[in-house]
Structure 1
């Protein structure tokens, strides 16, 4: 390994956001969040024919989730990629852009529902069911999104600042655990009563199962995250330039 590159591995470096790769990742992140916000309105039960678990307050008869279960973890994968390659400031832009689009979409859905339906249009109630905005769910979703994504990015970048290019797997798992737990806990805490959750056992079940499921999905697709991060670091000229100019951190002599 080149000596300069070896030294760079001891320090966190990031690419600039003035490339088409960042723009594509930003658009993908916002798109995934918007689609998940819509598909997540459908309740789903998986494996109910054989999955039955009873562990204290956790009672499971099938995996209760929503229609975004297969897509939503991709938002955190994209967040990991952006944070790892471009840094916390770049991810903060993506989070705020996603927040603005989600809020705009909710306002537009609400306005469209409230507009008087034409006589020939018979899908008003169906549209209301799918796109209707429940204030408590909206608040829960936006609060969970902000808490989870910001913590996910913050933890990953802070771990990278300590380890440099080493131990990517550790910061991917660590940031996912913190971010997903915060997202799930905040959302469930706000939305529980609207979902009909009235006991402590049901709340624990809903929160823990959701957190474990989303975390396991992200860990399962970690090899894909590795491939994307590795390719992007090589494809971004500014990242390679930062590696070449990086210097190891100054350490105190005791």
Structure 2
């Protein structure tokens, strides 16, 4: 691609196209996904909100929704097929991260190393939660990308805000509906009422992040479309999630 004014192109015609920034956006997508799981998932935080009181939340929620924002950018700028490759890359990277964490945690520590307990607390992962997380991510991200690509065709490329917010509502809704029951249903300390409340509050926070970041999404999408020189529509795209080829 040579850049310039974006031209409307069907995604199926760009299988062999080379883009300037695609690899960078893909790397940012996978990086944010992994870091939000490593650094944020294990910490419970709380803030004192005026009129509401103490509001507990998982620290990962501050950054995990950025993966959905980048998922929107990938689909909007580069099309569903390339977004699909990024989702699979993130899925495999998350599985590898979980496997690596498990191996490193279970390795016998040196007899004079005092950090094993803290290491287990931070990096030790419950298999049920890991399973729930990767399944919810896979389903939610593919739903997000599919809805955005379909809505782009229906809206003829207008009203980007409706596509980013609408696809996030669907994607994050599926993510939350899958993750919390798989991870916590029947678990000690997780009555159904508490699980449903956390699921709803986390969903609302994630969608709110998308809404607040809409101006940023507009700026990034506009920049990338101008520099790449294309505006991709997935009219002839095969929407199966079970492939990585373009």
TM-score interval (norm. to shorter):
0.7 to 0.9
- The higher radius of gyration belongs to 1
In structure 1, how many angstroms separate the alpha carbons of the residues matched to 2:47 and 2:179? 21
What is the CA-CA distance between 1:196 and the residue it aligns to? 2.5
Runs of at least 5 residues in structure 2 that lack an aligned partner in the other structure:
236-246
Residue 127 of structure 2, aligned match among 122, 128, 135: 135
**Does 1:83 pair with 2:84?**
no
User: Kindly tell me: are residues 51 and 42 of structure 1, through their superposed partners in 2, closer, same or farther at Cα, counting changes over 3 Å?
Assistant: farther
Instruction: Give CA deviations for 1:54-82 in whole Å, capped at 9, x if unaligned.
Output: xxxxxxx5332111122111111100000
**Does 1:116 pair with 2:108?**
yes
Instruction: Give CA deviations for 1:69-107 in whole Å, capped at 9, x if unaligned.
Output: 221111111000000011111111111100111110110
In structure 1, how many angstroms separate the alpha carbons of the residues matched to 2:196 and 2:100? 34
In structure 2, how many angstroms separate the alpha carbons of the residues matched to 1:62 and 1:78? 31
What is the CA-CA distance between 1:13 and the residue it aligns to? 5.9
Partner of 1:22: 22
Residue 162 of structure 1, aligned match among 140, 149, 154: 154
Residue 105 of structure 1, aligned match among 80, 93, 97: 97
In structure 2, how many angstroms separate the alpha carbons of the residues matched to 1:192 and 1:114? 24
Mean Cα displacement is larger for which, 22-31 or 187-196? 187-196
Partner of 1:249: none
- Count matched residues: 226
In structure 2, how many angstroms separate the alpha carbons of the residues matched to 1:195 and 1:166? 48
Partner of 1:198: 191
In structure 1, how many angstroms separate the alpha carbons of the residues matched to 2:37 and 2:59? 9
Partner of 1:43: 44
In structure 1, how many angstroms separate the alpha carbons of the residues matched to 2:202 and 2:51? 15
Secondary structure of residue in 2 paired with 1:164: coil
What is the CA-CA distance between 1:120 and the residue it aligns to? 2.1
Runs of at least 5 residues in structure 1 that lack an aligned partner in the other structure:
53-60, 247-254
TM-score with structure 1 length normalisation?
0.82
Secondary structure of residue in 2 paired with 1:196: coil
In structure 2, how many angstroms separate the alpha carbons of the residues matched to 1:140 and 1:112? 21
Secondary structure of residue in 1 paired with 2:223: helix
In structure 2, how many angstroms separate the alpha carbons of the residues matched to 1:195 and 1:187? 16
After TM superposition, list the pairs within 5 Å mapping 1:61-80 onto structure 2: 61-80=53-72
TM-score with structure 2 length normalisation?
0.84
In structure 1, how many angstroms separate the alpha carbons of the residues matched to 2:214 and 2:151? 17
In structure 1, how many angstroms separate the alpha carbons of the residues matched to 2:55 and 2:81? 36
Partner of 1:235: 227
User: Kindly tell me: are residues 18 and 90 of structure 1, through their superposed partners in 2, closer, same or farther at Cα, counting changes over 3 Å?
Assistant: same
User: Kindly tell me: are residues 101 and 108 of structure 1, through their superposed partners in 2, closer, same or farther at Cα, counting changes over 3 Å?
Assistant: same
Instruction: Give CA deviations for 1:142-186 in whole Å, capped at 9, x if unaligned.
Output: 111011101000000001122222111111111011011111111
In structure 2, how many angstroms separate the alpha carbons of the residues matched to 1:223 and 1:13? 25
In structure 2, how many angstroms separate the alpha carbons of the residues matched to 1:215 and 1:33? 17
User: Kindly tell me: are residues 12 and 227 of structure 1, through their superposed partners in 2, closer, same or farther at Cα, counting changes over 3 Å?
Assistant: farther
